[in-house]
Amino acid sequence: MTPKDASRRTREICRLAPIVPVLVLDDAAHAAPLARALIAGGLPALEVTLRTPAALDAIRAMAQVPGGVVGAGTLITPDDVRAAKAAGAQFGVSPGATDALIAACEAEDLPLLPGAATATEAMGLLARGYDMLKFFPAEASGGAPALRAIGAPLPQIGFCPTGGVSPANARSYLDLPNVVCAGGSWVAPKDRMQAGDWAGIETLARAATAL
């Protein structure tokens, strides 16, 4: 997969809804009902972070739920990429970008949303052919004002800001011309997952979709 093809696909996925849920699952049994709730609430693009032992099984389960596009987040190494692709991930998200990680995604035909926090990092990825990026960590890197400033000289790059994005500040990001969507974890609170409150999660998803 070429960088151009990867960015075209990740941009398509990011355009599906204003918010991409960033999901941390401790129990793979929660994966399918969580996916159904989020999709029903209007959020079909789902990022399962590889931060727990249940993550790959969760991706496998979510990949079977109709209407969703399941990706793997927190890709760090080529082994992460291969494991995510084998589990059924349809796209990948990384906090940053290394040559080895990018090469692995291209070899595995896994569209990558690579992370960048500075203009230099964004320019480096653009030079490689990636024009759809994750701005991470968004709030710690200056928030919406910083992303607006980066967009002035680099208008051809689209961003998905993630990290500290919440219902209180999401609109400030989504109003920027260089933001395609934002990533957020608030739509799938751990306490609601543990309680099996899928209707409550669907309500949170609908509110996020309304952004």
Q: What pLDDT score does 27 carry?
A: 97
Two tokens at 134?
Answer: 């994750």
The single residue of 12, 47, 106, 202 carrying the catalytic annotation is: 47
Question: pLDDT by residue (tens digit) across 132-152?
Answer: 999 999 999 999 999 999 999
Active-site choice (85, 108, 134, 202): 134
The answer to whether residue 47 is catalytic is yes
End-to-end CA separation in angstroms for the chain: 32
- Alpha-carbon distances, residue 166 vs 19, 61, 65, 122, 183 (angstroms): 10, 27, 26, 23, 9
Whether 134 sits among the annotated catalytic residues: the reply is yes
pTM for this entry:
0.96
Q: Please identify which residue in the block is written with the tokens 């395609």.
A: 180
Instruction: CATH number for 3-209: choose from 3.90.700.10, 3.40.50.720, 2.40.50.1020, 3.20.20.70.
Output: 3.20.20.70
Q: Which of 68, 188, 178 has its CA nearest to residue 134?
A: 178
What tens digit of pLDDT does each residue of 157-207 get?
999 999 999 999 999 999 999 999 999 999 999 999 999 999 999 999 999
- What residue segments make up the domains of the chain, in order of their start? 3-209
